[in-house]
Amino acid sequence: MLKILKYSIFDLLRSRWSYVYFVFYLILGFVLLFLNNDVNKAIITLMNIIIVLTPLIGTIFGVMYYYNSKEFTELLLAQPIKRSKIFMGQYLGVSLSLTLSLVLGIGIPFVLYGLFKSASIFDFGLLIVVGAFLNFIFVALAYNIALSNENKIKGFGYAILMWLFLAVIYDGIFMILAIKFQEYPLDKFALGSMMFNPIDLSRTLILLKLDISALLGYTGAVFKEFFGTNKGLILSLLVLCLWVLFPLFRMAKKLQKKDF
């Protein structure tokens, strides 16, 4: 598996898109720091971008990489390597190279700005952790969709729809329900619904840590009240782990029966 992982990363590091993605974050980091002139504010703005953008890029990269390396995968399948190792290696390759672009792209400007001397280092660390989680989650979801769809266009379409649903539509539905049933106690419902969306969960996680009640919104407020900051932090990290593991589990299941 390590060999496959090595080649996947090697392959992706040669691709122009990894650099485009890296440079994008680099510029974004510098611009935000110079515009805000404050690490804390830059982190909040960055969070809003990362939470929507990393899932999108992860989804697109995941689907694209699967379909583009299809022939090569078939070559590997005829070699004495376990099926699950081939795909796990590729999956980790994509996720890690995206995470690398994210960490370096955002890390460099913040370190240069003097992150290590600022008190926000933990907030920043959490932002990076959440960004990495979102990469691993959405690449895994994208791989699941691609594995279930032979047709490239369909697979791509479903993957984008999945992102759109989790990033935009989900919140919309939640809002409508919240307004519709506002006479009822919605705390538990809000909590539950957040667990089922990694993007909402990540947002709450960072906001809990940053402790900005103005930005917490309804779900966040409930969440904070219910768990208290530390408990909430650990619980949401655990749920994020489940969000990585569950798609991987399904992937392994699917692979056992798939024909190539």
Partner 1 sequence: MIQIQNLHKKFGKLTVLDGLDLTIEKGGIFAILGPNGSGKTTLIKCLLGMVVPNKGKIEFQGKSTLKKWDYRNNLNYLPQIANFPSNLSVIELINMVKNLRPKQANEKELIDLFGLNPFLQKKLGNLSGGTKQKVNLVLTFMFDSDLIILDEPTTGLDPIALIYLKDLIKKERNKGKTVLITTHIMSVVDELADEIVFLLEGKIYFKGSIDTLKKQTNQTSLEHAIANLISKQYTN
In the range 112-131, which residues lie near partner 1 by CB under 8 A? Answer: none
Segment interacting with partner 1 (CB under 8 A) among 65-73, 137-145, 203-211, 240-248: 65-73
Please tell me the count of residues contacting partner 1 according to CB under 8 A.
Answer: 23
Segment interacting with partner 1 (CB under 8 A) among 69-77, 122-130, 136-144, 170-178: 69-77
- The separation between CA 7 and the C-alpha centre of its own chain, rounded to angstroms, equals 23
Residue bearing tokens 């890296």: 22
Segment interacting with partner 1 (CB under 8 A) among 3-11, 97-105, 114-122, 228-236: 3-11
∠ CA 107-44-22, nearest 5°, is: 30
Q: Which of 80, 117, 192, 214 binds partner 1 (CB under 8 A)?
A: 80
Dihedral sign (CA 203, 208, 210, 214)? positive
Output the six-digit token pair for 172.
């919309």
Segment interacting with partner 1 (CB under 8 A) among 9-17, 31-39, 132-140, 189-197: 9-17
Output the six-digit token pair for 78.
């005829």
Q: Which of 11, 39, 42, 240 binds partner 1 (CB under 8 A)?
A: 11
Q: Residue 72 or 246: which CB sits closer to partner 1?
A: 72
* Region class of 118: left (phi > 0), else alpha (psi between -120 and 50), else beta: beta
Q: Phi, psi at residue 198, to the nearest 5°? A: -65, -25
Q: Residue 154 or 231: which CB sits closer to partner 1?
A: 154
In the range 173-192, which residues lie near partner 1 by CB under 8 A? Answer: none
Q: Please tell me whether residue 20 binds partner 1 under the rule CB under 8 A.
A: no
| Cα dihedral 72/78/83/85 (nearest 10) | -70
Q: Residue 182 or 256: which CB sits closer to partner 1?
A: 256
Q: Which of 74, 104, 154, 172 binds partner 1 (CB under 8 A)?
A: 74
CA distances 170 to 77, 86, 116, 133, 228, Å, are 38, 33, 37, 19, 25
Q: Please tell me whether residue 72 binds partner 1 under the rule CB under 8 A.
A: yes
Alpha helices (H) along 15-38: 16-36
